[in-house]
């Protein structure tokens, strides 16, 4: 063996380069003929296809990142994951390729887990900080946000920004 397959803990985080708006948009709102990118549905499907190989109970959740993209978190309550486990799961779930490559290179050169597998809760900008949204169970669709005030409030603030930045995007939003 050349590399040490260290334990990374019980959580894997994935940073998706897709806008939160498109990620949570239900199929009923997809414009006809539009090619879909990474969606909540596609991540659910990938996790289902991965379950027989992983064969462990997991808690899966998602949130709006501080840059209005998407974070996904998988937490395994009964087992610690290795570096290889983490990289394989991240690659399978379409983790940001630059983030994945940098973490691979960092681990190759330093053997250190420091600064790896992180999705930040906030980021500093020239105008202050930008906050990520609350974690949402992966089985929760956008139409259920109203049942959770903190999720609904974050969605409403996000949607106001989205409409302002994307006035050409047709909004069919039913909830």
81 vs 91, 93, 121, 141, 159, CA distance in Å?
15, 16, 22, 28, 36
Which pair of structure tokens corresponds to residue 39? Answer: 């969606």
Res 84: pLDDT? 94
The tens-digit pLDDT sequence of the chain (175 residues) is: 778 899 999 999 999 999 999 999 998 888 888 888 999 999 999 999 999 999 999 999 999 999 999 999 999 999 999 999 999 999 999 999 999 999 999 999 988 888 788 888 888 888 889 999 999 999 999 999 999 999 999 999 999 999 999 888 766 655 4
> Which structure tokens are listed for 92?
């399978």
Q: Note the pLDDT of residue 169.
A: 75
Count how many Cα atoms sit within 13 Å of the Cα of residue 46 in the half-sphere of its side chain: 19
Per-residue pLDDT at 30: 87
Note the pTM of the prediction, 2 decimals: 0.91
pLDDT value of position 174? 52
Cα–Cα distance, 113 to 27 (Å, whole number): 38
Is residue 143 within 8 Å of 29, Cβ to Cβ?
A: no
Residue-wise burial string across 141-151, b where 16 or more C-beta atoms lie within 10 A, e elsewhere? ebeebeeeeeb
Through-space distance between the first and last CA atoms of the chain, rounded to whole angstroms: 53
pLDDT score recorded for residue 171? 64
Please name the residues in contact with 173: beta carbons below 8 A apart, sequence gap of 6 or more: 29, 159
Query: Which value, to the nearest 10 degrees, does the dihedral of the CA atoms of residues 51, 54, 55, 59 take?
Result: -70
């Amino acid at each position: 063996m050349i590399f040490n397959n260290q334990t990374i803990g019980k959580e894997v985080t994935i940073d998706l380069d897709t806008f939160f708006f498109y990620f949570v948009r239900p199929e009923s709102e997809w414009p006809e003929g539009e090619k879909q990118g990474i969606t909540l549905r596609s991540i659910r499907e990938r996790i289902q296809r991965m379950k027989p190989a992983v064969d462990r109970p997991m808690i899966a959740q998602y949130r709006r990142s501080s840059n209005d993209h998407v974070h996904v978190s998988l937490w395994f309550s009964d087992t610690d994951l290795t570096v290889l486990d983490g990289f394989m799961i991240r690659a399978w779930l379409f983790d940001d390729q630059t983030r994945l490559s940098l973490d691979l290179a960092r681990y190759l050169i330093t053997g250190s887990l420091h600064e790896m597998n992180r999705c930040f809760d906030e980021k500093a900008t020239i105008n202050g900080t930008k906050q990520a949204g609350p974690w949402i169970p992966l089985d929760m669709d956008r139409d259920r946000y109203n049942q959770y005030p903190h999720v609904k409030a974050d969605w409403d603030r996000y949607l106001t920004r989205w409409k302002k930045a994307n006035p050409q995007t047709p909004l069919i939003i039913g909830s």
